Structure 1
Amino acid sequence: MRRVRGTPRANWQRTIADQGLVFGSPGREVDGRPRPYWDESVHYTFDLDEILALEAQVEVLHTMCLHAAEQVVLTERFADFGLPQWSWGPITESWRRNDPYVYGRFDLRYDGSGPAKLLEYNADTPTSLLEAAIVQWHWLTDAHSGDDQWNSLHEKLVERWGEIRKNLPTSDLHFSWSSADASGEDNVTTAYMQETAAEAGFDTVALPIEEIGWDTELERFVDLAEAPIDAIFKLYPWEWALDDDFGKQVVGSLPQTMWIEPLWKALLSNKALLAVLWEMYPGHPNLLPAYIDDPHELTEYIRKPKLGREGANMTIVGAGLETATGGVYGEEGYVYQLLDPLPDFDGMRPVLGAWIVGDAAAGLGIRETPGLITDDSSTFVPHRIPATGD
């Protein structure tokens, strides 16, 4: 794994905008200057052996996470996850029905030596998908056409939609996001997912989640044309839905209306998962020690809110690296994870976003920041696997 400098393509800004990348907050340089969200003046290179090892580790982590969900359901350990008690039964039912799932993103610490370490699992509403699947692939073919990339995301998404077709009531599939996201990222990400489903043969309809209707006579969700919603992909976190009356309608609509990602993913998208994994697989080479609501023996750790997003409300303790971020999370409780700082490459600290689609490792996206916490001011940079080992 190396960080390499290169020359951006001519008119790269227009190119990535034409590919849909019209969002993204500016990142930061080491000296604090603004930096584009997408930066192709640098990229990372990997040996093929590294990528093959990472693929295998991601699929192991995926299997471990499914076992952890089973364990939480069997032991009824929902209180540790800060989820409302009324949702526990429906989560159990969703898991036992094997409600279908599509994708997720593991955020990993990796420096090119030793196994990758799981930092968190974005199992419900992962973003940076268009960048990883489409934009960096076109960069590769334009700038390094003889090289390869860990990236079969598009093909695997289309294949996965085809696989779960038999588990859905019809070929009609709705796609929804929150119009409250002013950045446009959720809208674009949802539109890309809609494109992959259409390629798999679904008839798709898009609408913001705020415009989903409720037919009081039929007691079911409908779209703007008052057509029933039988299955819907939502880029809207389960913990947000479960926090209001809309969520109770959503949960009550299952399984007549099938929601993707499924309700049981509320367990895997929760930082409490990190502690459950450590309990089940202590000492596993891809895990860091983690505990719920108490640091136990840890003297250097990062405290993460169970339902936190985008690096909010995190606190780092130890090694002279004390820092904290603001936000609105934490009331639900915290997880304490051993501090293993992201590696330093030219003053930047990359986090590897490794994608799983269905049960298969599918690709890699890299975000980097000069800080210890990867937040919404990080920068996305592409990667390649050199054909000649350069």
Structure 2
Amino acid sequence: MQRLAVDPRPDWRERAEELGFAFHTIDGQPYWCEDAAYCFSAAQIDELDDAAQRLEEMSLDLVEDVVRRGAYEPFRLSDTACAMIEESWRRQDKNLYGRFDFAWAGSGPPKLLEYNADTPTALYESSVVQWEWLDSYCAHCDQFNGIHEMLIEAWKNFGLWGHRVHFTCVRDHAEDIGTVDYLRDTALQAGLETGRIFVDEIGWNGKRFVDLVAKPITVLFKLYPWEWLLQEGFAGHIGPSGVRMIEPAWKMLLSTKALLPLLWDRFPDHENLLPASFEADAIRGARVSKPFWGREGAGITRLAADGSIAEAVPGQAEIAEAADAMVWQQAVEMPCFDGFYPVLGVWMIASRACGLGIREDNSPITRNSSRFVPHLFE
């Protein structure tokens, strides 16, 4: 694994915008970066692929065990949420996508940092944008990137013929809107009928959810976390309405950091896991505290072996209100290339590993301002 210095294409912004990639620059700084690229061997890509696939199978095994035993207590979920999870899992509701984030420098086992199982972003740039870059930069090279084709295939296998799939997210958020528009496009390419609606536009007619023209919403893809959804005024209608949710309710068991200590308990000393616990004292040496529902690095603190704070990212309001809902994970020495710390995100589509997106920062904690850098392998 290497970090290559690359000459950016002089028209990269225009190319990005032609692809519909509107959020290539954030707060005046490039989010999509072409001044570098990560290079892997084919064997290294296979290692990442295998690690993600193993972890997906382990995660699904954990869900089955939790539902079978009714062991929901560690997740701090309401009775309503637990009932929805159980019904969803027993119906075998299909899931669409997720992303495992790894720390890895190309040798030894990749180590899982977290699983973004419910509302991962950076999808469009991982799929279409970096593929277009590769075609321009090195046509004879390859890329771990079957995301687009796998998404179309996954939609075809959902059994949604005769339904309109509504896609929703919050308004005034370019990244979320871009991700939803891309996923909607893949559903259209799969032959499905679709519609788009913002979360605050979803209506209720007394029996079912409806869109702005009073059409029933029978299938809803939501780029909106389940924990937020369950706080909405209409949350009590989700189960009785019969609406089919993507991601399904059982993904709540995989979308919080509670997954990390539970995986470690179930698969102790697994080569792709870091020791993790709900108790700080259970992790020796340098460690990281992570809020159950944190995203984009919010609320994460890295502690040195002596307990002093090495780095901390402020938390969001809802994280601060649940300050006791933390997990602790053994700190891993993050790889550093040219002063940048990459996190390797392996994409799962319909529970199959099929692509890689890399974000890097000049500190070990990846956050919403971190850069996206393309990759290739030879």
Query: Considering the TM-score relative to the shorter chain, is it more than 0.5?
Result: yes
CA contact (8 A) 1:123 1:268 kept: yes
User: 375-384 or 244-253, which moves further after superposition?
Assistant: 244-253
* Structure-1 separation of matches of 2:24 and 2:248: 27
* Structure-2 separation of matches of 1:2 and 1:83: 42
Note the C-alpha offset of 1:25: 6.0
Partner of 1:30: none
Partner of 1:203: 193
* Structure-2 separation of matches of 1:83 and 1:129: 28
Q: Would you say 1:303 and 2:293 are equivalent positions?
A: no
CA contact (8 A) 1:103 1:123 kept: yes
* 1:298-348 Cα shifts (integer Å, max 9, x gaps): 232100001111111111111576221112215060110000032111110
Q: Look up the SS of the partner of 2:280 in the other structure.
A: coil
Partner of 2:270: 284
* Structure-1 separation of matches of 2:283 and 2:132: 47
Partner of 1:360: 352
CA contact (8 A) 2:16 2:24 kept: no
Q: Look up the SS of the partner of 2:234 in the other structure.
A: helix
Residue type of the alignment partner of 1:104: G
Partner of 2:13: 13
* 1:178-208 Cα shifts (integer Å, max 9, x gaps): 11xx331111100100000111110111111
What TM-score results when the alignment is normalised by the length of structure 1? 0.92
Note the C-alpha offset of 1:83: 1.8
- Superposed, 1:322-361 pairs within 5 Å as 322-327=310-315, 328=317, 329-330=319-320, 331=322, 333-361=325-353
* Structure-2 separation of matches of 1:252 and 1:295: 43
* Alignment partner of 1:188 out of 178, 181, 203: 178
Q: After the TM superposition, which segments of 4 or more aligned residues of structure 1 sit over 6 Å from their partners?
A: none
* Structure-2 separation of matches of 1:341 and 1:307: 24
- Superposed, 1:1-390 pairs within 5 Å as 1-23=1-23, 26=26, 35-165=29-159, 168=160, 170-179=162-171, 182-216=172-206, 219-253=207-241, 256-319=242-305, 322-327=310-315, 328=317, 329-330=319-320, 331=322, 333-386=325-378
User: 321-330 or 61-70, which moves further after superposition?
Assistant: 321-330
* Structure-1 separation of matches of 2:104 and 2:325: 28
Unaligned runs of 5+ in 1: 28-33
What TM-score results when the alignment is normalised by the length of structure 2? 0.95
* Structure-2 separation of matches of 1:169 and 1:234: 19
* 1:69-89 Cα shifts (integer Å, max 9, x gaps): 112222323221122233211
Residue type of the alignment partner of 1:102: L
* 1:343-369 Cα shifts (integer Å, max 9, x gaps): 111110000010011131110000000
Residue type of the alignment partner of 1:149: Q
* 1:231-287 Cα shifts (integer Å, max 9, x gaps): 11110000111123222222332xx21010001101101100011100010000000
Residue type of the alignment partner of 1:39: C
Note the C-alpha offset of 1:10: 2.2
